[in-house]
Structure 1
Amino acid sequence: MMDGMITGRLTGTPEHRSDRNHRPFMVARVRSEASDGSSIPVNVVAFDTTACDVLRRLIEGDAVALRGSFTPKVWIDRQDQPHAVLDIVAHQVMAVPDFPDY
């Protein structure tokens, strides 16, 4: 694991869940742009109550910055092609929700 910060956009609405001891947490998916124009999927889990509160107010397409512990991973698709993915336990979530044009 490594600590860091990453930015991107939510690819779905964050979900509220509870563990087996009924402690709440949030999960989300973010797509982050790489310098070469490709994108990297980021799987997010947040246990911190402030981070969960921010995620709870967001919807698909909102821009976010996540700070926390990252675990880089690789998954293999059906054509045996490797793809990078990041898992993050978010300690802090900063967001810029999309507001309607006025």
Structure 2
Amino acid sequence: MAARKKIVIEDISFEPGGPTAVTTEQLRAWVVWQFPRLRAGGYSGAVHPPSPEPGWLPAIVDASNGQVLVFAHIKERFPTPEAAAKHLDQMN
């Protein structure tokens, strides 16, 4: 059986089997969107790495505690932050 590889984006390692908690400091060069939809652990959101590659990743943003739960293990990248956040809503 092949080992699962960690996902590395802009020097941050993400878990391959589920969402990864990172700090807002780790995402300092990323674009972080937080929407006013409250979820367990924060608000629906999305993040985009500081690269020219297209695509947003779904995230749960807890800005008051400086934490972001990034769903980098999802292979799909979304064209807008709204689409990424909507994907989170559809997962539950």
TM score, norm. by length of structure 1: 0.33
Structure with greater strand share of residues = 1
Structure with greater helix share of residues = 2
